[in-house]
Amino acid sequence: YAKRSGGNDIVEFEPSMVELHHQRTQLEQDLIQAIADNQIKPHYQPLVDLTKEEIRGFEVLARWTHPVQGNIPPDMFIKVAEEIGVITELSDSIFRQACQDALDWPQHMILSFNLSPLQLSDQLISQRLIDILAETGFPPSRLVVEITESALVHDFDAASLALGKLREAGIQVALDDFGTGYSNLSQLSKLQFDSIKIDRSLISNFTRDEKQIGIVRTILALSEGLGMYATAEGIEDEDQLATLRELGCECGQGFFLGRPIGAEATHELLKTIEQVGSKKAIATLT
Ligand code: C2E
Ligand code: MG
Ligand code: MG
Ligand code: MG
């Protein structure tokens, strides 16, 4: 309907409830179709070994370019997929494409894949991943599954069971966005993560903040104490990178080290690495 605002003649149009409902229904239908057509594509962001200055693998980040609305952020369409009960189909589609893409990466590189908290309470989740690995021929030992702390809050027993099965199959597990949730440290020690990813909210601005540096230093000590390696997320500049190196953080990720790119561009990047070496190739990304 048209709303006449504050006495002047400017007329604002606001979508009515009916229109909003229609838009949402349309988005749901488009999402279902996009999943069926494999239109939601895995992109890949480099995970960089900060000591060797080498790419040790890539994190899979889902991308959907909607024909009318353009790019829709994964946080949003993953939530919608969960709400309408198609998260399994969506996740399988992205994972299958990613395994196929990663087949021609160098043998030492890992593929890091996100699971949402809801998926972790699906009792069949680990078997589905294992089946897709077998079907595509991508080795379990090169897969890392990332889960956020909220998965543990959501349903600790289910998460614990699923993580156990993944590790039994030789798959690594990483705790994502560490430092944002309700870190229950006793749960952390029970669960045997292979690595933790320090959330980017702790990394941004941190070179100018001694307290924040102190927190990151403590997280690094904690992860080492629990036998895990650490990845810092959201590295956006040289100072952050230098500070993390000084603190002894093993691995980094962020726009300064490389943005998420499509399968084709990843393939090109890996060819460049083969030709000029990792250091120079990483430098071309920034
Ligand atoms: P995440 O797993 O923590 O992924 C990292 C997010 O940080 C990505 O956002 C990435 O693009 C962004 N990022 C990386 N480096 C930087 C940086 O230097 N600066 C800033 N400002 N951001 C950076 P994206 O791609 O929008 O994904 C958001 C979240 O959506 C992910 O957070 C993950 O939880 C979820 N997600 C993405 N793809 C999938 C998927 O295939 N399955 C599931 N279940 N969740 C996914
Ligand atoms: Mg992640
Ligand atoms: Mg994260
Ligand atoms: Mg996140």
- Take residue 75 and report the two structure tokens written for it: 């946080």
Q: Which atom of ligand 1 is nearest to the CA of 42?
A: 41
Nearest alpha carbon, ligand 1 atom 20:
234
pTM comes to: 0.93
Is the shortest distance between the CB of 75 and ligand 1 below 6 Å?
yes
Nearest alpha carbon, ligand 1 atom 11:
260
Q: Which atom of ligand 1 is nearest to the CA of 199?
A: 3
208 DSSP 8-state letter = G
Per-residue confidence (pLDDT) for residue 44, from 0 to 100: 98
Strands 110-114 and 172-178: unpaired
Q: What is the pLDDT of residues 138-174, one digit of tens each?
A: 999 999 999 988 888 778 899 899 999 999 999 999 9
Per-residue confidence (pLDDT) for residue 283, from 0 to 100: 73
Ligand 3 mean position, distance from CA 178 (Å): 8
Please determine, for the modelled complex, whether the ipTM score is greater than 0.95: yes
49 DSSP 8-state letter = E
User: In which residue ranges of the chain is pLDDT below 70?
Assistant: 1-13, 182-183, 285-286
Per-residue confidence (pLDDT) for residue 154, from 0 to 100: 78
Q: Which atom of ligand 1 is nearest to the CA of 95?
A: 41
Ligand 2 mean position, distance from CA 122 (Å): 19
Ligand 4 mean position, distance from CA 177 (Å): 6
Ligand 4 mean position, distance from CA 165 (Å): 24
Is the shortest distance between the CB of 199 and ligand 1 below 6 Å?
no
Ligand 1 mean position, distance from CA 103 (Å): 22
Is the shortest distance between the CB of 74 and ligand 1 below 6 Å?
yes
Return all residues near 130 (Cβ < 8 A) that are at least 6 apart.
140, 169, 171
Residue type at 58 in one-letter notation: F
Identify the CA nearest to 200 among candidates 183, 180, 217: 180
Q: What is the pLDDT of residues 58-89, one digit of tens each?
A: 999 999 999 999 999 999 999 999 999 999 99
* CB-side neighbour CA atoms (13 Å) of 80: 19
Per-residue confidence (pLDDT) for residue 1, from 0 to 100: 45
Per-residue confidence (pLDDT) for residue 46, from 0 to 100: 97
Which residues, in sequence order, are bridge partners of residue 276?
A: none
d(CA 241, CA 188): 27
Per-residue confidence (pLDDT) for residue 183, from 0 to 100: 66
